[in-house]
Amino acid sequence: MIEFPAWPVILTTSEKRPARKILRLVLTMAEKEKATRLKTWLVAARPWALPASAIPVLFGGSLAATVGWVRLNPGLLLLTLLAMALLHTAANMLSDVIDWKRGLDREATPVSGAIVRGWLGPGQVFRGAMLLLAVGSALGLLLAWLRGFLILKIGIVGIILGLAYPWLKAVALGDLVVFINFGLLGSLGSWLVQAGQFSWLPVIWAIPQGMLVVAILHANNWRDSLTDREKRVFTLAAVIGDRASFFYYGKLVFGSLFLTAGYVLVPRLLSLDFPSLPLTMLVVFLAWPEARKLWKRARRRFKPEQPLDFVTLDGATARYNLIFGALSVAGLWLDSLVGKF
């Protein structure tokens, strides 16, 4: 630790230049330390994972405004996004701590957290997670107070599932937890905040978003399936094996597209007494080329000469989820815009 004198020091002209250099060096080192600390916590928080929880929130809020015909409240939408982001990050950090204590994820990859890299200890990450959980829960309580206590019930279910996830994933239930939490509850909660009343539409129509969040998780678990089995953590990928994981992944990626098309076309073609998604939602098929790239990348699981492409499949899937989600939200607002002309 560098200590500075408490009294003024008078420097001669010849002494000023070295003193300025030393001061500049000290300030530079302090800035670098601050930047390094920020980077460390950003890696621990993994903000690049947040689109997985943000997309359902944006989708549910957009549904309320375009299909539910309520006026979108941007402030409440931002508050919902912030609460979801904090709770999502807290859950990820807690999962990292528990996985580390179980002896999982000990080899660093391009998407590893700060514990695996040796940048932070499990205790530090745990305390950070508790802080985020407390703030996120407080924001959830505020939303419930403002917009109705059904939101509180959804939030409690979501938090319980999030905290239980590390244990549930060990018995092949992690995919289901993520599907419910980030796909369905995120969309429904956002709808409730905007519309103030319950509907099944934001649950049913958010299934494609939920499938893609599961695809991100499955890509991660598929990559780690061998080491997970050794540690007696039986994720779905570890249970069903490589070949079934490959086809399961494909159904999640392409199924999200075809299910969206079904929501658009089937009620219209069969004259069903059930609302259909607007035709503009077919804009999601602009993501088809990206889906095909993911499918080809997933096949490299069986080609060890190109291992890095498979190792980063979860990151590539997260990117696809962002594209698909952005197109879904755009499709809703495009229909609203077209309807005004």
For residue 243, what is the domain's CATH number?
A: 1.20.120
Percentage of the chain exceeding pLDDT 70: 84
Q: Which has the minimum average pLDDT: 33-37, 160-164, 248-252?
A: 33-37
Residue 194: pLDDT band by 50, 70, 90 thresholds? very high
In a domain? residue 251: yes
Indicate whether 110 pLDDT > 70.
Answer: no
Instruction: Name residues whose C-beta falls within 8 Å of residue 116's C-beta, 6 or more positions apart in sequence.
Output: 96, 100, 105, 106, 107, 108
Q: Which residues of 5-35 are buried (b: 16+ CB within 10 A; e: fewer)?
A: eeeeeeeeeeeeeeeeeeeeeeeeeeeeeee
187/310 same-domain check: no
169/278 same-domain check: no
Say what the pLDDT of residue 24 is: 57
Indicate whether 30 pLDDT > 70.
Answer: no
163/295 same-domain check: no
- C-alpha radius of gyration, the chain, whole number: 24
Q: Which has the minimum average pLDDT: 25-39, 100-114, 149-163, 237-251?
A: 25-39
Mean pLDDT of 326-336: 95
Of the candidates 129, 151, 122, 116, which has an alpha carbon nearest to the alpha carbon of residue 45? 129
At which of 164, 199, 234 does a domain end? 199
Mean pLDDT of 313-317: 90
In a domain? residue 129: yes
Residue 115: pLDDT band by 50, 70, 90 thresholds? confident
Say what the pLDDT of residue 171 is: 94
240/273 same-domain check: yes
297/173 same-domain check: no
Q: How many CA atoms lie within 13 A of 159 on its CB side?
A: 21
Which single residue is written with the structure tokens 């997670």?
Answer: 129
In a domain? residue 31: no
Tens-place pLDDT, residues 128-182: 999 999 999 999 999 999 999 999 999 999 999 998 998 999 999 999 999 999 8
At which of 171, 199, 227 does a domain end? 199
Indicate whether 306 pLDDT > 60.
Answer: no
In a domain? residue 298: yes
Of the candidates 226, 214, 216, 135, which has an alpha carbon nearest to the alpha carbon of residue 180? 214
76/191 same-domain check: yes
In a domain? residue 124: yes
**CATH for 161:** 1.10.357.140
In a domain? residue 248: yes
128/219 same-domain check: no
Mean pLDDT of 250-268: 97
Residue 340: pLDDT band by 50, 70, 90 thresholds? low
290/181 same-domain check: no
Say what the pLDDT of residue 324 is: 98
89/219 same-domain check: no
At which of 182, 199, 216 does a domain end? 199
* Token pair listed for 328: 């879904």
Q: Which has the minimum average pLDDT: 76-80, 96-100, 185-189, 279-283?
A: 96-100
Say what the pLDDT of residue 117 is: 78
Percentage of the chain exceeding pLDDT 90: 62
In a domain? residue 28: no
Indicate whether 35 pLDDT > 50.
Answer: no
Residue 116: pLDDT band by 50, 70, 90 thresholds? confident
Say what the pLDDT of residue 305 is: 52
* DSSP character at residue 339: T
Reduced DSSP (H G I as helix, E B as strand, rest coil) percent helix, strand, coil of the chain, to 5: 80, 0, 20
> What's the mean pLDDT when you consider all of the chain?
86
Say what the pLDDT of residue 21 is: 58
In a domain? residue 91: yes
Total number of residues shown for the chain? 341
Say what the pLDDT of residue 7 is: 38
Tens-place pLDDT, residues 63-108: 999 998 899 999 999 999 999 999 999 998 998 898 888 877 666 6
Mean pLDDT of 302-319: 76
Boundaries of domain holding 213: 205-341
177/222 same-domain check: no
241/170 same-domain check: no
- Domain total in the chain: 2
187/241 same-domain check: no
Residue 59: pLDDT band by 50, 70, 90 thresholds? very high
Q: Tell me the C-alpha distance between 40 and 115, whole Å.
A: 10
Q: Tell me the C-alpha distance between 200 and 204, whole Å.
A: 6
Tens-place pLDDT, residues 7-21: 344 444 444 455 565
